[in-house]
Amino acid sequence: MYEGSMAMTSAEPTPTPPAPPVPLTALLARRDLGLRLLAGPEDVPIHWVHTSEMADPYPYLLGGELLMTAGVLLADPAHYVARVVEAGAAALAFGVTPVYDTVPAELVEACARHGLPLVEVPPRTPFTAVARALWRLMAEARLHELRRVTEAQQSLAAAAARPAPVPAVLGALASRLGGRAALFAADGTESAAAGREVPAEAARALRGLVGVLGPRPGGPASASGDGGGLRLAAYALGGGDGLTLGVATERRGPGDHTVAGVAVVLLSLLTAPHRGAEAAVRDGALVRLLLGAAPPEIAETLGAGPWTVVHAAGGDGTPFAAASLAAALGTPLVDAGEAGGGTGRADAVEAGGGRRDGTPVTVRLLLPASTPVTEQPGWTLGVAAPAAADELAAADAQAARALRRAEAVRASLVRHRPGGLAALVDPDEAAAHARALLGPLTEPLGETLRTWLSLHGSWDRTAVALEVHRNTVRQRIARCAALLGRDLDDPDVRMELWFALGSR
């Protein structure tokens, strides 16, 4: 029999998918589908769709899905519903015809008894139409959530630039999450707070949650729980002085961890110990970066440097892991946007699960060149060469390439390597030669050739670095050879192309 599933988020669904769930009411409201609720509540969240005609679909269910069936092997409706409920399915959709003309009464009774929503799918509505409608609703919900997170990031960054930044950030966070945000000292006392008051029971539970983190080195970076009818969360700041952020809200949205992660980074920066006047000015320059200023605009305030840009991938999958990494490297300066590239805009944390759903976060760090950058457990680092404040764009590109190389060769840290012999050639002449030699190559051919040469012609490692199939790499390199009219197996040709790519 047919056994198929349509996951709304990724090829390998996890128990908690990154896309926001869609309430069943939203599907029922689609008049073009003609769905009708026959039993159970209508306000349950739907995480994905699964279609099954197995007599017992239990082994194939993950929980939270809308299970769709035409009842091809429906022999015992009561047992069938019990197994579906046991598997954790959110709702059951039954398609009438060609097997049944109407939804069996025994199935309706069993769903009503177990409180499982039962939806009738009319003959004119294919199951794929229901799945497609759910995917679109999820996409809309995801877009709404991304907009909410972006607005929250901007609000928090603006609050950090105010005269009293710590209370302002707490107030912005409490407002965005619709609850209370408090800063706790190492001894568990509340040092600053914003938002509405919470019941005494919730306040005690939040202090207990904060105590779970504590100032212990290497302890957990966050903890969550419930208390007093509220959803609670605690986040350890990265300043090294034992400060903890506590949050109490009525609900916990999909993007709340990302918003809280931005607040953690900013509060870690603002509360870092031993902050002299120079550090305060430097942090003010970083906040201007967060608000969208281009590096040349803040070069004078930031200081001539030199500075080091670091790209890092890893952590525990949460955006506030960036604060812990920054603390480990001895700097509160965290920037995960385009440091000097493109529009010059920089976001405090690049999150939402990282580059792919369910993978660790990716962040950038900006720190004085005098600060040593060493390997960090659980992180892959790409380190740029020291650069002045007005050269952050070039340093950002160096760090990005170094990180890609580190991931390709599976190294924990790779540093950008200076030009060497290429530096002996006049830059203008080298650039002119590179433009003439590489003129036939368009992107992504140029970047593919650069990566392939940097990895000594390895198809597999180049595919990993570019996140494409190895056959795609082969096709692109063959196209490069044809356009350039060169034998890429010749080491002299490879050397010339490598220098040209570096001079382009």
- What letters, b where the CB count within 10 A reaches 16 and e where it falls short, cover 434-466? beebbeebeeebbbbbbbbbbbeebbebbbbbb
- Summarize the chain as % helix, strand, coil (round to 5): 45, 20, 40
Cβ contacts of 209 within 8 Å, gap of 6 or more:
223, 224, 225, 227, 232, 233, 234, 246
Each residue's pLDDT tens digit, 31-53? 999 999 999 999 899 988 999 99
Using pLDDT thresholds of 50, 70 and 90, give the confidence band for residue 14: very low
Listed in order, strand segments (DSSP E) in 215-374 are 222-227, 230-236, 244-249, 307-314, 361-368
Average pLDDT score, the chain: 78
Task: Decide which of 419 and 234 is more confident.
Answer: 234
Fold of domain 422-503: Arc Repressor Mutant, subunit A (1.10.10)
Q: Which two tokens stand for residue 465?
A: 């670095």
Kindly list the distances between the CA atom of residue 233 and the CA atoms of 31, 223, 296, in Å, as whole numbers in the listed order: 40, 6, 38
How far is it, in rounded angstroms, from Cα 23 to Cα 37? 13
Upstream peptide bond of 122 is cis (omega within 30 degrees of 0): no
53, 72 Cβ separation under 8 angstroms? yes
How far is it, in rounded angstroms, from Cα 283 to Cα 275? 10
- Reported as type and span, the H/E element at residue 379 is strand 379-383
- Reported as type and span, the H/E element at residue 192 is strand 190-195
Kindly list the distances between the CA atom of residue 227 and the CA atoms of 85, 149, 245, in Å, as whole numbers in the listed order: 28, 25, 16
The sign of the dihedral angle between the CA atoms of 101, 104, 107, 109 is positive
φ, ψ dihedrals at 236, nearest 5°: -75, 130
Each residue's pLDDT tens digit, 132-152? 999 899 888 888 888 888 888
Highest CATH level, class, for 3-139? alpha beta
Q: Which two tokens stand for residue 142?
A: 């995801």
349, 313 Cβ separation under 8 angstroms? no
Mean pLDDT of the region 7-33: 66
Q: Which two tokens stand for residue 307?
A: 């500075």
Kindly list the distances between the CA atom of residue 387 and the CA atoms of 56, 93, 295, 306, 367, in Å, as whole numbers in the listed order: 63, 60, 12, 5, 11
Mean pLDDT of the region 193-215: 83
Q: Which two tokens stand for residue 436?
A: 């003439």
pLDDT at 273: 59
Each residue's pLDDT tens digit, 326-374? 666 666 555 544 333 332 223 333 333 333 334 456 777 877 888 788 8
Neighbours of 245 (CB within 10 A): 27
How far is it, in rounded angstroms, from Cα 480 to Cα 498? 13
The CATH number of the domain covering residues in 161-255: 3.30.450.30
